[in-house]
Structure 1
Amino acid sequence: MHQQSEQRRELAAFLRSRRERITPDQVGLPSTGRRRTPGLRREEVALLAGMSATWYTYLEQGRDVRASYQVFDALATALQLDRYERGHLFQLAGHAPAAEAEEPEALAAEVAAVPLLLQPHPAYIIGATYDVLSYNRAADELFPNLTATADRPANFARWVFLEPAARDVLVDWEPEARGLLARLRTLAGRHPGDVRYTRQIDELKSGSPEVRAWWPRYDVQARHGGRKRLRRPGRGTVDFTYTAFHLAEQPEQTLVIYSEDQLDAPAAD
C-alpha cells in the first residue's frame, strides 16, 4: 500500500510540474486574467484532454482513482510530453510494467574486462543507479576522484554532484548535470519503491542545492550517446564523442566509450 501511495504522489507531482510549464498561448487557449500559478489551470488541461476537470483534479491530488490508458494518452498529448516523458507518465500511472527491486548488481568477469580491453579509450560500465561497476585507466584519468570506497562502488551521479573536481572537468556542468538527473528520475520511475533510488536521491539532495532545486521539476530523459567538452590537465578543453551500449542480458547496465572528437582535425596530406 505504501508503494502505491508513493506512486500516486509521484504521478500527481509529475502532472503538476508538466502543467505548470505550458502557457495558454502554446496550446491555443486565450490567456484570461492574472494567474496565481504559472502555466495552465487544471480545468484547461482537462478540457484539452477531453476529460472531467474533477477527475483530473483527483489525479493531481494523488487520490486513489483509476483512469484508462486512453485517458493518460490524451493527457500526454495535452501536456505536450516527449516520448521519454510519456513513458514515465505511463509507468507512474500503472500502464507499463514496473520493475521489481533488485539485489545489489553483479557484473560477470568477462563483461567487467571489456573497459580494460578498450584502453586507451576511456570506458566504463554503469549500473541502474549509476554505480560504476568497471572502468579503465583512461576513464580514471578523464574523471579524477571517481573512486570506490570499502563499502560501496564509485557512482557517476555522486561524482557529478558531490565531487568538486566535476565542475572543473565538465565544461558545461549545468546542462550535463541536469541531463543526468533527468535520466536518474526516469530510472527511479521504473523502480517505484526501490530503496536504492530513495537512498541515492536523499544523499544527493543533502549534498547538492542543485538537486534539491531540480528534482521537483520532474524532468525525464533516456540514456544516450552524444558529445561532451572536458578539461584535461595541460591541454585545456577537449571535445569528446561518447557512445552508450546497453548490455544484452542486463539492459540497465550500460557500457560507455569515449573518443576524442576528430571532426575538426586537419586533413592529412
Structure 2
Amino acid sequence: MDKQELGVFLRSRRERLRPDDVGLPPGPRRRTPGLRREEVAVLAHISTEYYTRLEQGRAPRPSGEVLAGIAGALRLTDAESDHLHVLAGTAQSRTGLHRRDVRPSILALLERLPQTAGFVMSAAFEVLAWNDLAAALMEDFAQLVPRDRNLARRAFLGPARADVPLYGISDAAEFRLSVVTQLHTTLARYPTDPEVTGLVDELRDTSPDFARLWERHDVQAAPMLTKTFRHPTVGQITVDCDALTLTDRDQHLVLYTAPPGSPDAEALALLNVLGTEAGDYLR
C-alpha cells in the first residue's frame, strides 16, 4: 500500500468534482475547489474521520468494499478505479523489475507483417524491438543506445525543437499526456524498479511540462486511434494506430497501418523501399 500516493490521488479526484456532479446542493461558498471530505465520506458510506486519514496517508489498508464505495463516490473511471486498488495494495501486484525481453514469436511476427510499421514498447516506454518500416517511419533505433530508445524521455527531453516535434507527429501534446498517465500506473505497479523510478524522477526534475502534468494525477488518456507523421522525405502520412497489450510481459505491440490503396498506404510502401536512408528528423 502506497499511503502517500493514495492520499494524493484521492484528493486530486475529490477536488475535480462539484456538488452538482454527484447530486448534492451547492451549499455555502466553498474555500477550496471540489467536494468536501465529509461529502465524499457520506457518499461512500464510511466515516469522515477514516476518509480524512486516508487522504492524509495515516489510515490502514481499506477493504475492497470501502474502495468500491470511494470509487463510486468520486465517480472514478474503470482505469482510475484499477489504479486506486493498485495504490491501496488490494490489486494483484507485480514485484521486481518490469520485463524488457520480447517473446521470440512477437519478434518473428514483426518481420512478417506486410506494409505495417510495428514496434514493441516496455511498460516504461522503451522501444524493445521494431521492424524495418518502423525504423524508416520513426528513426533507426539500432543506432541508439537503449536509454535513448525511451519514447518518454525523447518526448519530454529530446533535442527536437518546438516547431519540429518528435517524429513530426501532429498529436505531440496528446502523446505527452498519454506518457504521463501511463507512467503513473507503471510506477504504481513497479515501485521498486530503479529504471521506472529513475525515469520518473529524471522527468519530474528536468521537464517543467512533465512535472505539471504529473501533478494532475490523471491515469487515463484518450486513446490514439490515428496518428499523423510529417516525414522529411515522403511528407505527411496518416496511419491507423493500434496498441495491443502483451499481458504476460506488461508490454505493448504498437502497429501503424494505412487503408489499402490510399495515398498513405502508398507513402508507407515507398518508405518500405527507401528504408532508413529516406531521411532524418531533427533529433
Q: Aligning the two structures, in what range does the TM-score lie when normalised by the shorter sequence?
A: 0.7 to 0.9
3-state SS of paired residue (2:46)? coil
Which stretch of the first structure deviates more once superposed, 210-219 or 147-156? 147-156
Aligned to 1:187: 186
2:37: which partner in 1?
A: 42
Q: TM-score, normalised by structure 1?
A: 0.85
Query: Are residues 1:123 and 2:118 paired?
Result: yes
Pick which of 7-16 and 114-123 moved more: 114-123
User: How far has the Cα of 1:171 moved from its partner?
Assistant: 0.8
- After superposition, give the CA deviation of every residue in 1:116-142 in whole Å (9 maximum; x if it has no partner): 333642110111211111112322232
Deviations 1:53-110 (A, max 9, x none): 1100000000142321111100000101010100000111111121001276223445
Q: Distance in 2 between matches of 1:79 and 1:124?
A: 37
What do residues 143-162 of structure 1 show as CA deviations (whole Å, max 9, x unaligned)? 24756644636112122222
SS in 1 for 2:170: coil
Matches within 5 A, 1:1-269: 4=1, 7-102=2-97, 105-118=100-113, 120-144=115-139, 149-150=144-145, 152=147, 154-163=149-158, 164=160, 165-167=164-166, 169-221=168-220, 226-233=225-232, 236-247=235-246, 249-250=248-249, 252-261=250-259
Q: Which moved more, 1:84-93 or 1:149-158?
A: 149-158
TM-score normalised to structure 2 length: 0.81
Query: In the alignment, is the contact (CA less than 8 A) between 1:115 and 1:135 conserved in 2?
Result: yes
Classify 1:81/1:124 alpha carbon distance in 2 versus 1 (closer, same or farther; 3 Å). Answer: same
Q: CA 1:126/1:224 → structure 2, altered by over 3 Å: closer, same or farther?
A: farther
CA distance in 2 between counterparts of 1:177 and 1:217 reads 13
Q: Which moved more, 1:96-105 or 1:59-68?
A: 96-105
Distance change (3 Å), C-alpha of 1:83 and 1:57: same
Question: 2: distance between equivalents of 1:178 and 1:263?
Answer: 33
Contact in 1 for aligned 2:177/2:221 (Cα 8 Å): no
Number of equivalent positions: 259
Checking the alignment, whether the CA contact within 8 Å between 1:223 and 1:244 is kept in structure 2 is no
Q: 1:263 to 1:97 in 2, by over 3 A?
A: farther
Between stretches 174-183 and 97-106, larger displacement belongs to 97-106
Aligned-partner Cα distance in 2 for 1:235–1:106: 33
Instruction: Report if the CA contact (8 A) 2:107-2:129 is conserved.
Output: yes
The residue identity in structure 2 corresponding to 1:239 is T
Q: Distance in 2 between matches of 1:222 and 1:245?
A: 16
Indicate if the aligned counterparts of 1:49 and 1:77 stay in contact, CA closer than 8 A.
yes
Compute the displacement of 1:167 (Å).
4.6
RMSD across aligned positions (CA): 2.6
Q: Which runs of 5+ in 1 are unaligned?
A: none
CA offset at residue 193 of structure 1? 2.8
Q: How high is the sequence identity, in percent, across the aligned residues? A: 37
Counterpart Cα distance in 2 of 1:155 and 1:82: 28
Q: Unpaired runs of 5+ in structure 2?
A: 264-283
SS for the counterpart of 1:171 is coil
